[in-house]
Amino acid sequence: MPPELRHDHGRYGWSAGLHHVWLLAIKDLRSEFRRPYEVISLITFSLGAVLIAGLTLGGGRVPPEMVASLIWILLLFLTMLTYTTSFARESDRGTLGGLKSLPCSPLAILGGKVVYGTLLILLVGSVLIFFTALFLPLDLEGRYAEFLLIFALGATGLSLTAAFVSGLVMFSEGSTLLLSFLLIPVSVPILLPAVRAMTALLSGTGEMIPALQLLIAYLGLILAVTLLTFACVLQE
Amino acid sequence: MAENPPEADLRAVELTGVSKRYGIRYVLRRISLHIPRGEFLVLLGHNGAGKTTLLRIMSTQVSPTRGTVRLFSQDPRVEGSTTRRRIGLVTHESFLYPELTVLENLQFYGQFYPVAESRYQEMLEMFELRSFAGVRAGSLSFGLRRRVDMARALLHDPELVLLDEPFAGLDERTTRLLGEYLAALKETGITLAMTSHSKEKAGFYDRAITLEMGSIVQDVRYAA
């Protein structure tokens, strides 16, 4: 292959693309943990919300729908808080120009944000679920794999949607506020099946497969839209 | 006997009828400009003349509303990644991440190119940044950040270096250091294009183009 077609370190095509996604995600994670107050505030927010819910509902029987709804509403807010500073921060600091100057595709830039956001949401979400298990009835009856699957799929869906919306609004005035407003309606198709699947799992009675199918279908849809349009989002 | 390459292959940048509009306001109007390989070009003009937009179009950061851009005979819309590998860009905005150290910033950008490990130390040495390698970019002065930005842009040995007001806001020492480095770069035959407000360094360049209201009003070549 001629040198001008080489991407980096001998990697080509998809391999180079995935390597770029990983480099970008690591950069974001490293930056994030260098200012730990943001992660700490996310964890404090989760603890506070679960504690209030636990103390308010504690003592009596808490319906599984309520526990599942609480978890996913909190995950939505965690996603919002994570992504309000994602592309907007790159744009405000001027580092977006640096990303656009790199020899990688716009999709790799988005992919980096999605991987970074998903890992962060999974990390803080795990702490949230630990708190939920402490203060609210969260009896999984050994079905940990199914629980992790719903959690991972939902978190990835929220992250992908939020990253895309965050990219869409980054050049707008009040991009932070816009993201919060826009993310709620576009997240509904992720939240509803995720809550249904988790309710079915927690109650041990319902069927969670149809809800998971819906969740995967919406993930596929948002992924297709993102792949087709994100290059235009970054273009000025 | 080897044939001479076609004229187009000798051009680093080829802009034809390039216009750029933001909303209803035209920032650039029908700019046609060829920059041969190895030329050191300066874009002059007042604030709002369109220098930065023209430089950003050359760097593939911005797409023209009309007209065509070719860099090293390649269409950046089709071969964006390949084209960007050949460009080093320094704008008035720093591309450095304040939470990362100087070395980490260089390594982050360098990982996208085939850059040898020794190259980082070489660049730190070249820009007198060795003692700042472990310092977070957010705590550096403006002049130091500019030096790190220059090191970042030149890490991968680009064939075309684009600089937006590189001397703006720099102290005397950094201006001298940067001037010396640009002079050395010019000797290597690299293609350089930079924007500037003033002509004070005329003679340092091969060619000066003056922009006014988004159009080229003067194109002067200096004798070698």
Could you tell me if residue A16 is left (phi over 0), alpha (psi between -120 and 50 degrees) or otherwise beta? alpha
CB contact under 8 A, B91 and A97: yes
Distance from CA of B222 to the nearest CA of A (A): 31
pLDDT band, very low/low/confident/very high, at A188 (cuts 50, 70, 90): very high
DSSP string, B89-133: EE-SS----TTSBHHHHHHHHHTTS---HHHHHHHHHHTT-GGGT
Q: Which fold has domain B39-58+84-221?
A: Rossmann fold (3.40.50)
CB contact under 8 A, B112 and A20: yes
CA dihedral over B178, B183, B188, B191, signed as positive or negative: positive
Q: Are strands B191-196 and B160-164 parallel, antiparallel or unpaired?
A: parallel
What is residue B185's predicted lDDT score, i.e. its pLDDT?
Answer: 85
* Count of domains forming chain A: 1
**What distance in Å separates the CA atoms of residue B224 and residue B204, rounded to the nearest whole number?**
10
Q: Which residue numbers of A have CB closer than 8 Å to B's CBs?
A: 4-10, 20, 23, 27, 30-31, 34-35, 93-95, 97-98, 100-105, 235-236
3-state SS record for A196-208? HHHHHHHHCCCCC
pLDDT band, very low/low/confident/very high, at A236 (cuts 50, 70, 90): confident
Question: Percentage of chain B surpassing pLDDT 90?
Answer: 59
CB-nearest to A95 from B86, B95, B114 is B95
Distance from CA of B152 to the nearest CA of A (A): 10
What number of other Cβ atoms are within 10 A of residue B60's Cβ? Answer: 22
CB-nearest to A8 from B80, B104, B113 is B113
Question: Tokens for A104?
Answer: 């990688």
What is residue B202's predicted lDDT score, i.e. its pLDDT?
Answer: 53
Map out the domains of chain B as residue ranges: 39-58+84-221
State the Cα torsion B81-B87-B93-B99 to the nearest 10°.
70
**What distance in Å separates the CA atoms of residue A198 and residue A149, rounded to the nearest whole number?**
10
Quick: pLDDT tens for A76-101: 999 999 998 788 889 888 899 999 99
Distance from CA of A57 to the nearest CA of B (A): 42
**What distance in Å separates the CA atoms of residue B113 and residue B154, rounded to the nearest whole number?**
11
Task: For residue B160, list its beta bridge partners.
Answer: B87, B191
Quick: pLDDT tens for A124-170: 999 999 988 888 887 777 788 999 999 999 999 999 999 999 999 88
CB contact under 8 A, A102 and B108: no
Question: Tokens for A233?
Answer: 């989002």
Task: From B22, B104, B138, B77, select the one nearest A89 (Cα to Cα).
Answer: B138
**A219 is in which domain, residue-wise?**
3-233
Distance from CA of A28 to the nearest CA of B (A): 9
What is residue B1's predicted lDDT score, i.e. its pLDDT?
Answer: 46
Sole residue written with tokens 């937006």: B164
CB B96 within 8 A of CB B115: no
Quick: pLDDT tens for B128-167: 899 999 999 999 998 899 999 999 999 999 999 999 988 8
Distance from CA of A114 to the nearest CA of B (A): 18
Which residues numbered 85-144 in B keep a CB inside 8 Å of some CB on A? 85-87, 89, 91, 93-100, 104, 108-109, 111-114, 136
Query: What is the ipTM score, two decimals?
Result: 0.87
CB-nearest to B84 from A23, A94, A101 is A101
Task: From B90, B66, B54, select the one nearest B167 (Cα to Cα).
Answer: B90
What is residue A208's predicted lDDT score, i.e. its pLDDT?
Answer: 86
